[in-house]
Chain A
Amino acid sequence: MPVKDYIRKRFFPHIWCPGCGHGIVLGGMLGAIEELGLKKKDVVMVSGIGCSSRIVGYVDFHTLHTLHGRALAFATGVKFSRPELNVIVPMGDGDATAIGGNHFIHACRRNINMTAIVMNNRIYGMTGGQFSPLSGPGIYATTAPYSSIDYDFDIVELARGSGATFVARTTVYHVNEVKDYIKKAIQHKGFSVVEILSQCPTYFGRKNKLKDVNEMLEYFKNNTTPVGSQAKKDNPNLIERGIFVQIQKEEYCDKYLNVIEAASKEVKG
């Protein structure tokens, strides 16, 4: 099915600002779903609140637009009741790691079979450009007029340390990787996390004196490198892209089914 058949055309043009990276994530994600040949009725997309979270309004799947930071909790409920469905949870960096940080680490720890996509623009877009746990030191934001002094999380390390069994990172500039990693993440049985560096030209770009959206994409091109590359050894400041974790571990819904079986046997006697 062509990618455009997966969108709710009646809501286009979408609400995102010119050049917002979230639209590129949407395209890559739909490309992945198309290549996997998933039927609309077999996909559930659950989001919280934020510019990024509006993504669920534009896709013609089963969709839930829930509460800020709580998308993974709702998604867990859906997956538990209908484990045969593909559950995908797109989140902003604030949504996933500030207000939703606790849900994020515990979903990783449980290894429940769903795909979390962190659309990381390093700022709160929807509420006017406050810094997030992903902004990092030296970044200007509405709430950091003299620049942020907070260290940022490394999503890959956070997800790995919390127990996620598939972890990848790329940027919207590398749009074929977006598609490829999301595809592999959906296929992976267990909790998968794909961090996608995205751009908010309206707040992050303006506050940090980046000329335009193309300069932001050039940054992704020039400051990232495939994981384990020689370039990273030569320049440790480069951000690595690639698949960082891909391991098999018993999945949460399966384990829960075992509990249900054991309990029913006991009841039947």
Chain B
Amino acid sequence: MAKKVKEIIVNKEWCKGCGICVHFCPKKVLKLDKSNKAAVTDLDSCIGCKLCELRCPDFAIEVKFLDNEQS
């Protein structure tokens, strides 16, 4: 069964607003906010593929799952 996404955490101190996570999210879950940092718009659509986290050059975004401490 697919793991359920609990939350997506953006470390605004580390995010440099490159937009890679926004552009390549297959479900358009993310956007850049007014301060040019990644932000979540629609958590329900997230399929937990973790591509945002894996492609972030700055270790600034993390997808957390329910029932599972694995990050």
Q: Chain B, 7-47, contact with A by CB distance < 8 Å: what is the 0/1 string?
A: 00000011011111001100000000000000000000000
Known A-B contacts A13-B14, A214-B20, A214-B23; the reply to A31 vs B57 at CB < 8 A is no
The 8 Å CB contact of B59, one of A12, A19, A212, A217, is: A12
> Top 5 A-B pairs ranked by shortest CB distance?
A23-B57, A19-B18, A18-B16, A214-B23, A18-B18
Determine the chain A residues whose CB is within 8 A of the CB of B16 once the complex forms: 13, 17-19
- Answer whether residue A22 sits at the interface, using C-beta atoms and an 8 A cutoff: yes
Q: Are B54 and A175 in contact (CB under 8 A)?
A: yes
- Answer whether residue A172 sits at the interface, using C-beta atoms and an 8 A cutoff: yes
Q: Are A175 and B55 in contact (CB under 8 A)?
A: yes
The 8 Å CB contact of B57, one of A2, A4, A20, A214, is: A20
A residues 213-259 touching B (CB-CB < 8 Å) = 213-214, 217
Would you list 21 pairs from A and B whose C-beta atoms are within 8 A, ordered by A residue? A4-B59, A4-B71, A12-B58, A13-B13, A13-B14, A13-B58, A13-B60, A14-B58, A19-B18, A19-B19, A24-B54, A26-B57, A27-B54, A27-B56, A27-B57, A27-B59, A28-B54, A173-B55, A214-B19, A214-B24, A217-B55
Q: Are B54 and A31 in contact (CB under 8 A)?
A: yes
- Answer whether residue A102 sits at the interface, using C-beta atoms and an 8 A cutoff: no
Could you count the A-B residue pairs with CB atoms below 8 Å apart for me: how many are there? 60
- Answer whether residue A21 sits at the interface, using C-beta atoms and an 8 A cutoff: yes
Q: Nearest A residue to B60 by beta-carbon distance?
A: A13
What is the number of residues of chain A that contact chain B, defined by CB distance less than 8 Å?
Answer: 28
How distant is A230 from chain B, measured CB to nearest CB, in Å? Answer: 25
Determine the chain B residues whose CB is within 8 A of the CB of A176 once the complex forms: 54
Determine the chain B residues whose CB is within 8 A of the CB of A4 once the complex forms: 59, 71
Q: Are B19 and A12 in contact (CB under 8 A)?
A: no
Interface positions of A (Cβ within 8 A of B): 2, 4, 7, 12-14, 16-24, 26-28, 31, 172-173, 175-176, 201, 212-214, 217
Determine the chain A residues whose CB is within 8 A of the CB of B60 once the complex forms: 13
Determine the chain A residues whose CB is within 8 A of the CB of B54 once the complex forms: 24, 27-28, 31, 175-176
How distant is B55 from chain A, measured CB to nearest CB, in Å? Answer: 5
How distant is A8 from chain B, measured CB to nearest CB, in Å? Answer: 12
**Which of B14, B24, B56, B59 gathers the greatest number of chain A CB atoms within 10 Å?**
B59
Q: Chain B, 50-67, contact with A by CB distance < 8 Å: what is the 0/1 string?
A: 010011111110000000
Determine the chain B residues whose CB is within 8 A of the CB of A26 once the complex forms: 57
Determine the chain B residues whose CB is within 8 A of the CB of A214 once the complex forms: 19-20, 23-24
**Which of A17, A18, A22 gathers the greatest number of chain B CB atoms within 10 Å?**
A18
Determine the chain B residues whose CB is within 8 A of the CB of A23 once the complex forms: 56-59
How distant is B67 from chain A, measured CB to nearest CB, in Å? Answer: 17
Q: Are A7 and B59 in contact (CB under 8 A)?
A: yes
**Which of B14, B18, B56 gathers the greatest number of chain A CB atoms within 10 Å?**
B18
How distant is A12 from chain B, measured CB to nearest CB, in Å? Answer: 6
